[in-house]
């Protein structure tokens, strides 16, 4: 079957590796010396293996005594891990979400601006006549602080190749001859050119906000071109926290001295208020842009990768641009920020009268970040693997040749077959079922992207069944331990159904945990 990480084979004494060169035996080594060296190396390995085994046994024993449960949220980028983490937060620590509610205002603004920028960039590629406004194409070279470049190609795809699509992931790279072949009437051309001109200032506001959110951490130029978003590390909220928008006026009122922290807060608030005012001033243009039939066609034909929640935020533009706006819980669940590294969250849960600390690890799912998961495998108790099954018509930002369902299946194979995870409680979320339903209802053909789907009926139930069967097969083929796989069809932005599923998952994880720890 498919392997996800290819480990490069390395010559034992690689000339590029100074350590291996240092321990390389001398070229003058005699047969007797060689025998002695090999025997010493074997003995050293035996001792090292025994120590490893002792450490493993100790860790297992500790796991049993522990009153902690570690749950990993795994899956490709944009599969819904951080959204699910927010649902856990709503369930176990709603007050903490309230505390950071204000920080999400900047993310909501950023998401709206990012989608506008993508549409304007797509318009840039069309000749709309003399617009005279600033180009929305990135001009300055990027400084690479963190490369999230893709790993090498995987083995052959289980679903085969899909139709032609963007080769480099940029909106302009897709085949758009069909859009261009639609003759634009002069008034429409002028209308679009004017919209583009008036909305152009929002593009620089987007860049400033992206820098603010990521704390200056940037992607390299090629990752950006491929559509890379803003990566944030755990604790990003402190980059944009204002701590109560009303407080500023009170603090400043009649007081000469303000602290540096308050100054920074004020500056941030002013920046954000400015973006809010810009959005407010442009809201009619934004509505026009979003509802324009040509823009809809452009998004559809060129398969523009807008964020999942573009529709939600564009349709809420009046509410979001209100100067008293505070993000609703739904806004927070629909906001998009890419996770960099591992974000951990802890909740205290009482099970059978016993307090248990429940640690959740939300990982970054982009290919270049997956190596950071491995250190967490060792003492994990449970995994929720999220596979966005609506993504059958999409390709990875990191590798535009890789169908996203295909990537999910390969990743799931890696998780199911990983030795370190053999005993871990495994839960599979086939996520974004709501998006899948909408796509199917809109007539998007699965067979077009997944030729092996064949002539099956292009309806929701059949498609779900088809994908579920593939995931279950992966599990069955990699299940020497006879481990149960708990599968759920999910839409993790829906709080009501997700909370029910969280309860169900919690009970199954704790039941097993308590049995293993001999606590029942
Ligand atoms: N409609 C819908 N949107 C979803 C669902 N799950 C996640 N989303 C949205 O998809 C986007 C990506 O979700 P995230 O939770 O940020 O994805 P992630 O897996 O954490 O991605 P990385 O951090 O890049 O690895 C967000 O805008 C979410 O609101 C779902 O079930 N339905
Ligand atoms: Mg995330």
Ligand 1, residues at Cβ distance < 6 Å: 75, 77-83, 307-309, 333-334, 336, 338-339, 364-366, 431-432, 434-435, 491-493
pLDDT of 167? 38
State the Cα–Cα distance between residues 236 and 341, nearest whole angstrom: 12
Atom of ligand 1 nearest to the CA of 339: 23
Atom of ligand 1 nearest to the CA of 337: 16
Tell me which of 138-142, 246-250, 515-519 is least confident: 138-142
Residues with CB under 5 A from ligand 2 (ion): 81-82, 339
Q: Per-residue pLDDT averaged across 83-112, rounded?
A: 93
Mean model confidence pLDDT for the chain:
80
Q: Per-residue pLDDT averaged across 491-514, rounded?
A: 90
pLDDT of 350? 81
Q: How far is the centre of ligand 2, averaged over its atoms, from the C-alpha of 349 (Å)? A: 24
pLDDT above 80: residue 489: yes
pLDDT above 90: residue 509: no
Indicate the pairing of strand 354-363 with strand 342-351: antiparallel
Give the three-class secondary structure for 242. coil
pLDDT of 156? 38
pLDDT of 249? 46
Report the phi/psi class of residue 200: left, alpha or beta, with left for phi > 0 and alpha for psi in -120 to 50.
alpha
Tell me which of 14-23, 30-39, 320-329, 377-386 is least confident: 14-23
Residue 217: exposure state from Cβ atoms within 10 A (0-12, 13-18, ≥19) = middle
pLDDT of 246? 44
Angle at 309 between CA 303 and CA 312, to 5 degrees: 115
Which band of pLDDT confidence, cut at 50, 70 and 90, is reported for residue 238? low
Which band of pLDDT confidence, cut at 50, 70 and 90, is reported for residue 267? confident
Pair of tokens at residue 144: 């690479």
pLDDT above 50: residue 519: no
Identify the residue with better confidence: 436 or 102.
436
Nearest bound ligand to the CA of residue 79: 1
State the Cα–Cα distance between residues 32 and 420, nearest whole angstrom: 39
Q: Per-residue pLDDT averaged across 264-291, rounded?
A: 89
Atom of ligand 1 nearest to the CA of 83: 15
pLDDT above 80: residue 258: no
Identify the residue with better confidence: 217 or 86.
86
Pair of tokens at residue 208: 């400033």
Pair of tokens at residue 302: 């060129």
Pair of tokens at residue 18: 């100074």
Cα 130–chain centre separation = 39
> Which distant-in-sequence residues (6+ apart) come within 8 Å of 230 by Cβ?
110, 210, 213, 214, 337, 338
Q: Backbone phi, then psi, for 57, in 5-degree steps?
A: -65, -40
pLDDT tens, residue by residue, 104-137? 999 999 999 999 999 999 888 877 765 444 445 4
The pick from 72, 74, 82 for probing ligand 1's pocket by mutation, whose C-beta has the most ligand atoms within 8 angstroms, reads: 82
pLDDT of 205? 85
pLDDT of 512? 75
State the Cα–Cα distance between residues 476 and 240, nearest whole angstrom: 46
pLDDT tens, residue by residue, 416-430? 999 999 989 999 999
ipTM field: 1.00
Atom of ligand 1 nearest to the CA of 364: 25
pLDDT tens, residue by residue, 201-233? 998 888 888 888 777 565 555 455 444 567 766
Q: How far is the centre of ligand 2, averaged over its atoms, from the C-alpha of 80 (Å)? A: 7
Q: Per-residue pLDDT averaged across 284-296, rounded?
A: 94
pLDDT of 173? 38
Atom of ligand 1 nearest to the CA of 386: 19
State the Cα–Cα distance between residues 389 and 446, nearest whole angstrom: 11
Segment of 142-156, 178-192, 336-350, 439-453 carrying the highest mean pLDDT: 439-453
pLDDT of 236? 66
* Residue whose C-alpha is closest to residue 129's, from 185, 79, 65: 185
Residue with tokens 């979320």: 429
pLDDT of 185? 82
Alpha helices by DSSP H, listed for 79-161, are 81-92, 94-99, 104-124
pLDDT of 342? 92
State the Cα–Cα distance between residues 233 and 348, nearest whole angstrom: 23
* Residue whose C-alpha is closest to residue 4's, from 297, 365, 288: 365
pLDDT of 164? 46
The enclosing H or E element of 358 equals: strand 354-363
pLDDT above 90: residue 279: yes
pLDDT of 143? 26
Tell me which of 254-258, 348-352, 368-372, 383-387 is least confident: 254-258
pLDDT above 80: residue 507: yes
Q: How far is the centre of ligand 1, averaged over its atoms, from the C-alpha of 24 (Å)? A: 49
In order of their start, the domains of the chain are: 66-95+337-516 (3.40.50.300), 101-334 (no CATH)
Pair of tokens at residue 87: 């649902």
pLDDT of 261? 66
Pair of tokens at residue 231: 């990566």
Q: How far is the centre of ligand 1, averaged over its atoms, from the C-alpha of 128 (Å)? A: 34
The pick from 76, 80, 383 for probing ligand 1's pocket by mutation, whose C-beta has the most ligand atoms within 8 angstroms, reads: 80
Give the three-class secondary structure for 489. strand
pLDDT of 352? 76
Q: Whose CA is nearest to atom 2 of ligand 1?
A: 432
State the Cα–Cα distance between residues 214 and 78, nearest whole angstrom: 17
């Amino acid at each position: 079957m498919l392997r996800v990480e290819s480990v490069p084979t390395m010559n034992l004494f690689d000339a590029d590796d100074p350590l291996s060169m240092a321990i390389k035996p001398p070229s003058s080594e005699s047969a007797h010396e060689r025998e002695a060296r090999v025997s010493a190396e074997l003995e050293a390995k035996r001792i090292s293996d025994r120590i490893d085994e002792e450490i493993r046994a100790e860790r297992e024993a500790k796991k049993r005594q522990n009153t902690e449960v570690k749950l990993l949220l795994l899956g490709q980028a944009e599969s819904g891990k951080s959204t699910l983490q927010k649902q856990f937060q709503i369930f176990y620590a709603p007050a903490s979400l309230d505390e950071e509610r204000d920080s999400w205002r900047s993310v909501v603004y950023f998401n709206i601006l990012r989608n506008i920028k993508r549409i304007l960039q797509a318009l840039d590629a069309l000749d709309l006549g003399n617009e005279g406004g600033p180009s929305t194409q990135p001009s300055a070279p990027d400084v690479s602080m963190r490369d999230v470049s893709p790993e090498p190609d995987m083995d052959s795809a289980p679903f085969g190749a899909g139709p032609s699509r963007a080769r480099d992931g940029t909106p302009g790279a897709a085949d758009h001859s069909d859009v261009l072949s639609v003759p634009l009437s002069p008034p429409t051309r002028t209308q679009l050119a004017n919209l583009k001109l008036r909305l152009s200032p929002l593009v620089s506001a987007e860049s400033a906000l992206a820098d603010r959110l990521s704390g200056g951490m940037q992607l390299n130029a090629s990752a950006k071109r491929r559509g890379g978003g803003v990566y944030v590390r755990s604790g990003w909220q402190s980059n944009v926290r204002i701590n109560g928008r009303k407080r500023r006026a009170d603090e400043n009122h009649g007081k000469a001295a303000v602290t540096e922290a308050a100054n920074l807060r004020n500056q941030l608030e002013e920046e954000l208020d400015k973006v809010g005012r810009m959005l407010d001033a442009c809201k009619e243009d934004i509505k026009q842009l979003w509802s324009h039939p040509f823009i809809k066609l452009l998004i559809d034909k060129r398969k523009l990768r807008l964020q999942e929640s573009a529709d939600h935020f564009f349709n809420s533009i009046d509410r979001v641009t209100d100067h008293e706006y505070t993000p609703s819980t739904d806004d927070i669940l629909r906001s998009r920020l890419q996770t960099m590294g591992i974000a951990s969250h802890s909740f205290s849960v009482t099970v059978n009268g016993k307090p248990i600390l429940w640690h959740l690890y939300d990982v970054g799912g982009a290919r270049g970040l997956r190596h950071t998961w491995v250190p967490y495998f060792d003492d994990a108790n449970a995994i929720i693997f999220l596979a966005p099954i609506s993504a059958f018509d999409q390709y990875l930002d990191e590798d535009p040749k890789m169908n996203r369902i295909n990537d999910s299946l390969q990743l799931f194979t890696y998780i199911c077959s990983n030795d370190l995870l053999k005993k871990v409680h495994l839960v599979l979320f086939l996520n974004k079922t709501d998006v899948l339903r909408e796509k199917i209802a809109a007539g998007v053909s699965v067979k077009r992207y997944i030729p092996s789907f064949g002539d099956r009926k292009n309806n929701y139930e059949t498609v779900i069944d088809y994908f579920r069967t593939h995931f279950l097969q992966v599990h069955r083929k990699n299940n020497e331990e006879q481990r149960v796989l708990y599968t759920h069809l999910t839409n993790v932005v829906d709080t009501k159904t997700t909370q029910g599923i969280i309860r169900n998952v919690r009970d199954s994880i704790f039941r097993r945990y308590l049995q293993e720890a001999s606590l029942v």
